[in-house]
Chain A
Amino acid sequence: MRIATILLGLGLLTSASAADLSDVKTYLNGKLDTQLAGTRALSAAADGYYALAKGADFDYAALARNPQTRAALQTARTGWTKASPAYEDIEGIVAGVEALSEFDVILDAGTSAADGGEDVVPFDLKLPNGKTLTKPGNLFGVNEGTIWGTVKAYSSGVAFDVDGNGNMDFGDQLPDANVLKAAAAELHRQSGELQKAANAWNPSREDVFGALVGNVPTVGPVFFEDWKSSPFVIGSKSTRTDFVVISRMSDLSGNVSSWRAMYRGLSPDVKAKNAELDGQIQSGLNELALYVNKLVAREQTRRYTPEQAEQLQREAQNRATAITGRITQAAALLGVRVE
């Protein structure tokens, strides 16, 4: 009890000099601008593709012969590829902050009604042809599944060399124009809603500390657990249908960026209390980012055995533990109660 009192006392002494967390918002808004630029381009391209399909009376074989089709689809892919990593860079904040967390379910983490579970998305998707996709899953996922044809139901079934390399590769097919138009528009709209909510959010130290100690320990059990069984680790032996276009390590890399941005907002307060501890936390986050980025870079050249994948996960979790432990101590020194 005495220890708690002292910690409280220490916290009270510094409460007057609360951290300036505006950098967290600046970071968030910057990434959201990029995300919105990507979703805007994706949505415009999806509209264009829909117009072409409508012009062909939804005869996809005819659409495949239209020279404008490839450009529309490539622009859509570029838009998605710009928006998705930008969101991954802020996912750690969005998922960890109570006021924003629902957007993570909608945009990137929610499951479909068919898959069930606790995080079913809360929306239905109305298609221009009047059909409705009931709770189809998160919007980045629906768009990914449509543009790259990994979800059969969202594909026209007509093969098409989207990247124009002369070969029929992964994802070379024409998407269902109705699904693509509706999914892209909804992704852009919800991204805009997230931006509004982010503008209204006033981060507190409790928010930021809580999001960090809740999110950093997910490195092993969430990101590496998914990654271990993906094609990026075990190649063709993988039977996964998700995390196939962008690897979970890339997602994690983006999340680590969020955590670093969040911690930057707390750093001055921690530094004032214990400069070494602040340095250790910063160094831990930087090292984790390097570790993850190294794995991302090696995904193209290396495949791992199950034992090596296990070792990689353990090491990642050890790093995450060291960071979480130190952030917990920093919160205690500042008298911040972490729920």
Chain B
Amino acid sequence: MPGLRIAALLALSAGFAGATDLATPAEKMRSSLAEAGLEVSFDRVEAARLVTQAQSAYGTVEGEWKKADPAAAREVSAALQKAVAAAKEGDEIALNRAGATAWTALLRGAYTGLESSVQTGNADSARDWLAAREFRVASPLTRLNADATGAIEALAAGTLKPEAALNAVRSDVLDGYQARMNDALRELETSQARGFRTLAAGQAALAQGYFQLLRPAYVAQNGDAAAAKLTQQFATLPTSLSGVQASLSGFRAAPLSERETHTRAAQVTRFLSLVPVEYARGVKLGSVKLNGGRAVVTQEVEVNEARTFLGGAVSALADIAPLLPDQDAARSLSADFAALNTSLSAQAMKAQPKPPSEVETAVSTLLGSVKSAFPADWQKADAGADLDVVRTQLDAVVAAAGAGEWAAAETARLDAYALLESGTEARIAVFNPELKAHLENLMWNGTAPAGLAALIRKQDPAGEFKSTRAELQSTLGEIARILGTEVAPAAVATNAGIIVFREGLEAVLILAALMGSLRRDPVRHLRRPMWLGAAAAFGATAVTWFVMQGALSLLGRYGEKLEAVVSLVAIGVLLLIMNWFFHQVYWTDRMASFQKHKHELTHSSSGAGGGVLRAQWWGLAVLGFTSIYREGFETTLFLQSLVLQSGAASVLSGTAVGLALVIGVGVAVFKWQAKLPMKKLLIWTGVLIAAVLAVMVGNTVHTMQLVGWLPVHPLPLELPANLGLWLGLHATWEGVLLQIGSVAAVIGSFFAAEALKTRELRQRQRGAAVHS
């Protein structure tokens, strides 16, 4: 079987034998008729020649159409005849209408041929008919897809059955025709408003023709009677426009794939939110003295960009509006989008451009309506749309840097990073930590190529930015490839579980290590502030979760810096507390016979001893808080983005497993340490504290290097990213040396305490001997 498949692929790769080019004559017919429609008001003879040219082009393939769909073929011929007459008479409107009818009838015939060929498993013929398709209107913002082409090739290779291939073909091709029908209806409305009679006639005929192509799907969903009524409504366009729109509400000719639906939903919000940004760049408020403070267009290019983004959003909404559960909301949303579209049209802008603040308010209201109308499932983060915006922001970084606008470059960089941090990073963190580390280095202060943050800080020349931008392009491509594959709920749950376990483990170990030393009765009460601190951190983490729901990208923007600050506090307190342990707790535990000191530690009644204990109490509480919260913040950020991606259920299940593991480890550690003899326990806790401190220092140094608070001097060797993830070991001199330094501090502190203890013991022994 594998041999057969390879043979099939090789045969395909050698080219398609015996193919018939149906597409070129079809396109020639269409374009000749369109040109004739334009030419007729200037030169009737030339218009007539163009119509004849269209007839000739169609004549070369008419036989194929007659075989595939005789009714459609007759309709094409009849429309061409009408076009001939209209050209002779100089009737611009009739010629445009005839052209639209001929073209859509031809497309209908081609689609019939395509479906029949796929159903019979004839891939060669299907390929020919598919080539005569029409695509949804191309835009610089979106990419056309090749699903139908892929399905036909799979059919040819024998890896896809005709039924499955037909579904893929329908989904792709009918989606294009429905988009064309929606465009025609929308443009019909605009043309009527602008008094463009010729264009309106052509658009009405186009809409009618596309509907004939989609009619079988409409019949299947709504029945013959409804289809007959709608056909009648189409025939009386434009007067019946609102009736047509009402009858079409909720109709989708081919089911959009889940991926396509999510992509369109993301496009609606992403594109819409960019409209006021571009608009504000192109329209400014004039001087009160000169024009009464009215808005004036200063940059037509930017206004056009605003229109392009709005057009993209309108088009994406048209595709998914029929799928909205509340069709009243869908109609209202479509009407609001159309109203905004009209207010930004060239005509409306010529009369009086809206002030940017009004557009911003209108968009903000629309975004609110979108949020309430779209199902929660559609509002999950879409990696593709996110990465599109990230790419745009990165371009803005390079452009701003090139222009020497460093503040703008940094703003764009932070915007891009916030979007990555609040979604993409979390999703690749566990599956591909190497890629996450690489991405962070490129966005911040990495070397070879230099990170963007460093480049902006040093105000490097534009050329320097290019290599980083190019590397980011390929890294984002790799991320898109990884995230583009469907992520199973189990994988998301695993991801969430690992994140919770990894972050929780460090917190549990540090608490266990410190509390282990507070096992004995005289100091047992000092566990309380640590528990209270830890509980407060849990509460703060929960608050953070809710705050993040409203401002994920905002918090993502400051995430690294906040983490660095909290980590620094945690390390500082840990060092203080550790010092206190070695000098007080160890000393107290092992020198319990000296009741005076024990009394000081366990009775915080008054005097200097009480002050020390209060400080210790707060120190332990802060340590409990920071140990948990520094992990809690990051965990919340990551889990939030996973929820956006895949919903709460799988994330919560993974979180529950991760938490259970953390608690299990915690309980095991506490139980085990309870069985240890005191001396062993002290050594064990000392080692644990040293290990936890080293990991914490390593990760904090890395975070500080990311945000540019520490320099970066790379080691001459590469380390696996997992060492960074689990041990805080990153390949920079700063990280490694400070980690070694932190361990040395723990050991040094221990020996200092030992030396002090020995010295005091001797002093006391000498004192005791003198007194005795």
Contact = CB atoms under 8 A, between A and B. Distances in A.
Interface of A: 1-4, 6-7, 9-10, 13-14, 98-99, 102, 105, 111, 113, 115-122, 135, 213-218, 221-222, 225, 229, 271-277, 279-280, 283-284, 287, 291, 302, 306-308, 310-312, 314-315, 317-322, 324-326, 328-329, 331-333, 337-339
Interface residues of B, number: 78
A213 B142 CA distance: 10
A120 B403 CA distance: 6
B37 to A, nearest CB: 7
Given A279-B24, A280-B131, A339-B477, A274 B16 contact: yes
Given A3-B154, A102-B398, A283-B24, 11 more contacts: A9-B9, A99-B466, A217-B140, A221-B139, A287-B27, A308-B38, A315-B31, A315-B38, A321-B138, A322-B27, A329-B149
B24 A324 contact: no
Nearest to B388: A339
Nearest to A325: B135
A9 B11 CA distance: 13
* Residue of A1, A326, A338 with most partner-chain B CB within 10 A: A326
B146 A276 contact: no
Nearest to A240: B300
Contacts of A271: 15
Contacts of B299: 111, 115-117
Contacts of B470: 98-99
Contact of A328 (B131, B144, B396, B469): B144
Contact of B138 (A98, A216, A315): A216
Interface in B122-151: 127-128, 131, 133-140, 143-147, 149-151
B328 interface: no
B723 to A, nearest CB: 32
A4 B298 CA distance: 46
A117 B301 contact: yes
B405 A275 contact: no
> Would you list the 7 A-B pairs with minimal beta carbon distance, nearest first?
A122-B402, A332-B146, A325-B135, A3-B150, A217-B138, A324-B138, A321-B138
Given A105-B402, A283-B24, A315-B31, A13 B10 contact: yes
A200 B121 CA distance: 48
Interface of B: 9-10, 12-16, 19-21, 23-24, 27-28, 30-31, 34-35, 37-38, 41-42, 127-128, 131, 133-140, 143-147, 149-151, 153-154, 157, 159-160, 168, 191, 194, 196, 198-199, 281, 298-302, 304, 308, 346, 395-396, 398-399, 402-405, 462, 466, 469-470, 473, 477, 480, 485-486
B403 A102 contact: no
Nearest to B203: A314
Contacts of B298: 115
9 contacts: A7-B146, A14-B13, A119-B399, A120-B399, A121-B403, A215-B140, A276-B23, A291-B35, A319-B31
A332 B138 contact: no
Contacts of A225: 304
Contacts of A4: 150
A333 B10 contact: no
A2 B154 contact: yes
A275 B16 contact: yes
A337 B484 CA distance: 13
Contacts of B405: 120
A339 B470 CA distance: 13
Nearest to A331: B146
Contacts of A217: 138-140
Contacts of B477: 337, 339
A326 B196 CA distance: 31
Contacts of A214: 140
A314 B33 CA distance: 13
Given A276-B19, A322-B27, A118 B399 contact: yes
A307 B198 contact: yes
A129 to B, nearest CB: 23
Nearest to A320: B138
